[in-house]
Amino acid sequence: MKIKKVVIPVAGLATRMFPATKAVQKGMLPIFDRPILQYVIEEVIEAGIKDIILIVNEDYETIDKHFNKDIDYRIKNSNNVSNEYIESFKKILDCNINFIIQKEQKGLGDAILCAKEIVKDEDFCVALGDVIIDSNKKSVTSQLVDVYDKYQKTVVAVETVSEDKVSMYGILEWDKREDNIYNSVRLIEKPERSQTSSNLAMVGRYIVKNEIFDILSHQNPGKNGEIQFTDALNELSKKNELLGLNFDGKTYDVGNRLGYLIANVEFGLKDKTNSEKIKEYLKNLVSSDFRIGDDYEF
């Protein structure tokens, strides 16, 4: 089955980013030159996915405006806006973008279950809206789709995290591996370090078999009293039906202040036009004779 749909949960209140997110949705905060959510959507488009289902809270007007409305002709005609930006945005406007309101924040599993009616009986992708994954080769979603196509199983993106971070993620325990593909035997949501010896963390990209909806609809609340997506995925793991892909790419958790700032700096450094200037600025900033607040000439 070809993966055509993605579910992107962005209904959270983004309390870790308050007050920046009081009136602006977290997904709309910019990283260097575009909103967080645009990176995520561009990533899935690269994998051939054009049906985009956003799970939102009631305040999704700016998201709708950004992704669904045509670009104002004055912007299109402005000398400040390069053709490259306009052309790449057209790919987004070509997609079919739907919104589903999650009325109560009952957990990630509940958010995904909201998409059941619209996904129907297809297998689908899930991409968390507060994680950007940058890859030099294929996008992480494309890499996952390749594994799904080959094995016809649910596959989740994982990466190794340091011991002190294990309790911040859904963790995958495995028995066998073939190169960078792990056969999962158990998934645990945000375990204490003592609860697992694995440090393979799920980072927010998944290709899931449709049966997950059935599992989710019977899922009891788990960690923090929430319907956990990880617990539902663990049911597939128990049946030997779940793989982990240690993908090629770099993860940016942009849902907290430090991660957000780091991503801004790094995406700035990746930008051809500004890279050298930013590098020089950063070098000067950390040198002994330059103090924060000093004027800086570009």
Q: Tell the smallest beta-carbon distance from residue 109 to ligand G1P (Å).
A: 9
Cα 42 to Cα 75, 120, 195, 282: the distances in Å are: 21, 24, 37, 29
3-state secondary structure of 179: coil
Nearest CA-CA partner of 68 in 31, 30, 41: 41
Report if residue 166 touches ligand G1P, rule: CB under 6 A.
no
Residue 170 binds ligand G1P (CB under 6 A): yes
Nearer to ligand G1P, 38 or 234 (CB): 234
Choice from 67, 89, 124, 169 touching ligand G1P (CB under 6 A): 169
Q: How far apart are CA 145 and CA 98, in angstroms?
A: 22
Q: What's the Cα-to-Cα distance from 291 to each of 54, 126, 217, 287, rounded to whole Å?
A: 43, 44, 56, 8
Interface with ligand G1P (CB under 6 A), residue from 201, 208, 216, 242: 201
Closer residue to ligand G1P, CB minimum distance, 49 or 202: 202
CA 179 centroid distance within chain = 24
Is residue 204 part of the contact set for ligand G1P (CB under 6 A)?
A: yes
Taking CB under 6 A as the rule, does residue 111 contact ligand G1P? Answer: no
Residues in contact with 103: Cβ distance below 8 Å, sequence separation at least 6, in sequence order: none
Query: Rounded to an integer, what distance in angstroms lies between the CA atom of residue 153 and that of residue 49?
Result: 18
Give least dist CB 121 to ligand G1P, A. Answer: 25
- Number of residues interacting with ligand G1P: please give it, by CB under 6 A: 12
Q: Provide, rounded to whole angstroms, the least separation between the CB of residue 251 and ligand G1P.
A: 8
Shortest CB 283 distance to ligand G1P, Å: 32
The 206-245 site mask, x for binding ligand G1P (CB under 6 A), equals -----------------------xx---------------
44 contacts ligand G1P (rule: CB under 6 A): no
- Sole binder of ligand G1P in the list 51, 159, 189, 235 (CB under 6 A): 189
156 lies in the site for ligand G1P, by CB under 6 A: no
Q: Which of 134, 196, 127 lies closest to 161, judged by CA?
A: 196
Q: Does 202 bind ligand G1P (CB under 6 A)?
A: yes
The verdict on 203 binding ligand G1P (CB under 6 A) reads: yes
Rounded distance, CA 266 to CA 32, Å? 9
3-state SS class at 229? helix
Residue 160 pairs with which residues in a beta bridge?
200
Q: Are strands 34-35 and 200-208 parallel, antiparallel or unpaired?
A: unpaired
Residues within the interface to ligand G1P (CB under 6 A): 108, 128, 131, 169-170, 189, 201-204, 229-230
